[in-house]
Structure 1
């Protein structure tokens, strides 16, 4: 991996966060399955991209490739200008941990650890000293409106609060990109609107967002919307 790929040095604003060139993923078999057909896509700093499509269309496959969880079977994927194709798994993991934050429909919190401890865990393997982990975790929880809930455990928090902890955990490493997979899927309407408002605020503050959703109202909040159907990507162009 080239020097500086996972450090905290700022990336020039004109370098895309993600740049896909002819990216595709085909699962071997008889017959092979084209999960994603070749596509080009550029996601620039400050973009807010929403992705819609039926179940099995390729949305999760796209997210896994964007998040460096899966390797494409063809094409080139650049993250912050870094070509990820030739990286070893340990290098991909380091890049993922330092530059990408994940928010899922299921909160994936440790139930008997405090919100502060859950957020700190995101930095455990990044070489961040404990004192700095505490400071940054408190700042991240404050950013999502939970500065007064640092000692609360998930079993004593509402669904909206737990999702806020999950968002704080995703933000604490100061990523270039926040990937959200159905972030309001387990929330009631009122709480979902609060979480979407928080994501809007984060985007206004400069966070680059990709949100996968089945909800047209959530999709409409993005600056750009992609539809995926049968592994084919189409961008919805609005006037």
Structure 2
């Protein structure tokens, strides 16, 4: 089973190799942001559990893909593989054309930090730090010069509409505002891919609508978004939807 999705707009570059990717995209030669080739994952036993059956999947630049499935279907395993948190048992995973299986652990970690921005259901913000500090700390172990970190963090908060709340701590922010801070933190590294795991799961309907509208705007500006959800209404925001059932993917 092979899933192929059309390529969309080009994400903004954040590193020299991303600049090259954008140049290639302009010439129509850029690789997909995500390309799974026969990827599968089996947890060792006894007995072994085939959490993801082998599949092929390509996600082009600027796509908005949603992934749905019931509890226990394999969504979390898929997220961990896509986010370079787990290595597949077999197959090849190429991120921006880079074969991740060929990388040692340190380089995989560095690639994840450069290319993937994570947004989770639980916001994972430091309660005693301001919104600006939470976003700035995301660059602590990156190559971004210290003098540029605050500038980038302020720009990321402005991008998600929270420039005026930069000095508020999470306890003084609404749920929707906290998730926007989390999205700003994910964007500050200028990733190729925004990987969202149930980003509206802890929000009421009004705040959820606000966050989804922001993701729509980011997609419209060229960001590649992969969103995992169990909510059919949230899934409908994607331009393509992939379903996982019993570890098997289908469009």
Give the shorter-chain TM-score range: over 0.9
Matched, 1:170 2:192: no
Counterpart secondary structure, 2:164:
coil
Q: Secondary structure at the match of 1:148?
A: helix
Q: Which residue of 2 aligns with 1:227?
A: 243
CA distance in 2, matches of 1:7, 1:69: 22
Give the alignment partner of residue 202 of structure 1, picking from 218, 226, 242.
218
Report the counterpart of residue 147 of structure 1 in structure 2.
Answer: 163
Q: Distance in 1 between matches of 2:248 and 2:31?
A: 26
Question: TM-score under structure 2 normalisation?
Answer: 0.90
* Number of residues of Structure 1 aligned to a counterpart in Structure 2: 230
1:60 aligns with 2:76: yes
Matched, 1:74 2:85: no
TM-score by length of 1: 0.94
Q: Which residue of 2 aligns with 1:182?
A: 198
Deviation at 1:29, TM superposition (A): 0.2
Q: Does 1:22 align with 2:46?
A: no
Structure 1's unaligned 5+ residue stretches are 1-5
Measured on the aligned residues, the alpha-carbon RMSD in Å equals: 1.0
Partner of residue 55, structure 2: 39
Q: 1:168-193, CA deviations, whole angstroms, 9 ceiling, x for partnerless residues?
A: 00000000000000000000001100
Residue deviations 1:39-94 (CA, integer Å, cap 9, x gap): 00000001110010011101011111111000000000000000000211110110
Q: Deviations over 1:87-133 (max 9, x none)?
A: 11110110000110000000000001011110011111012122200
Alignment pair present for 1:192 and 2:208: yes
> 1:7, 1:37 → 2: CA distance?
34
Are 1:111 and 2:114 counterparts? no
Matched, 1:134 2:150: yes
Give, in whole Å, the separation in 2 of the partners of 1:208 and 1:114: 28
> Which secondary structure state, in structure 2, belongs to the residue aligned with residue 202 of structure 1?
helix
| Counterpart residue number, 2:141 | 125
Shift of residue 7, structure 1, vs aligned partner: 4.4
Which residue pairs with 1:99 in the alignment? Answer: 115
